[in-house]
Amino acid sequence: MRLRRRSLDSYIQYIGRYILQLIAYFSQAVNTMNMNGISTHGTSSALYDAHFHPADIRISKEIPSILQDMIQSGIRGCVANATGEHDWDAVLEIASAHAWIRPAIGIHPWWAAGAGNGWYRKWIQLLDEHPGCLIGEIGLDLAMRDPDIHAQREVFRLQMSEAAIRRIPATIHCIRAWKELHEEMKTFLPLESGFLLHSFNGPSESIESWTNAGAYFSVSACEAGSYNPSRIRLLKQIPFERLLIETDAPNRPPPEACSTHPLFDRDTGKRIHHPADLHAALAWLSQILGLPESELAPGLASNYFSLFGHQNAPRLNP
């Protein structure tokens, strides 16, 4: 009986996964037709960047050509994350002009202590005005210089609570604050809408409980070329149906050898991350997981849709 139940469960999972892949396939086809006539030749796998920052001052001035590069590299969707009140409007504006870009607004833990008095009211108002908007980048960070964890927790709590009430998947940044993160989130868990632990670097023994709580995990192209055995073991523990790829561009570029789109900060001359280098994440994961890119990419695409839904699809309010 138990065996029969297990095979029924896996059959249902198989059908569900097949349906998501079909949805991903048709969405990719529709998106390709909707790319404003920009050539998309030379691409084989449609890719989805779970996390980047188009309004970052290092790339915002060049964003039209950067977005064209992304499209020509086969990127068919992405989540554009804001980091604070200063870039919410810019992120929403970029997303409103491009149906394949999903906006996410929130206050990053680095800016939590300096958040102005009126931030919460303005944030709620923008969420009300943009029903398809996601929540991010929010979180906790004990690795930053002089962290004000009290302020971080207060700002995170307000945002997480809103994400839970509105059933919007939040994108979460957490560095060395896993205990505190769990303390702040436990009353909301499990979250049916899911949430993203971006650039996941938490302890491997927590993967199962975060998965049961609704977590998805994204890995960044900046790790391409790195083959640390313990890191690989950890990544292999993430259930495949919860895995996503991201760039976090313009932050943390991949090694030069893995980059096809070199980009430099005009002010400092430092190398920065071009989001079209998302391919580096795909190639690296393909090696680590032993899966051909042609199989890996549709799976990652269906995970992206499973968490974030479809472009411009408003999420239901309770």
Binding site for Zn ion (CB under 5 A): 137, 248
Compute the least distance from the CB of residue 49 to Zn ion, in Å: 11
Return the number of the residue (137 or 223) whose C-beta is nearest Zn ion: 137
CA 100, 72, 276, 283 dihedral sign is positive
Compute the least distance from the CB of residue 53 to Zn ion, in Å: 6
Opening angle at CA 199, ends 113 and 296, nearest 5:
155
Compute the least distance from the CB of residue 74 to Zn ion, in Å: 22
Compute the least distance from the CB of residue 77 to Zn ion, in Å: 17
Cα–Cα distance, 297 to 244 (Å, whole number): 10
Residue nearest to Zn ion (CB): 248
Cα–Cα distance, 37 to 29 (Å, whole number): 14
Return the number of the residue (28 or 159) whose C-beta is nearest Zn ion: 159
Spell out the residues 6+ positions from residue 128 whose beta carbon is closer than 8 angstroms to its own: none
Return the number of the residue (53 or 279) whose C-beta is nearest Zn ion: 53
Q: What phi and psi, each to the nearest 5 degrees, are found at residue 39?
A: -65, 135
Q: Where are the alpha helices (H) located in the chain, listed in sequence order? A: 2-33, 63-72, 85-97, 119-129, 149-166, 178-185, 207-212, 229-237, 278-289, 293-308
Compute the least distance from the CB of residue 272 to Zn ion, in Å: 13
Cα–Cα distance, 68 to 70 (Å, whole number): 5
Return the number of the residue (79 or 258) whose C-beta is nearest Zn ion: 79
Return the number of the residue (137 or 277) whose C-beta is nearest Zn ion: 137
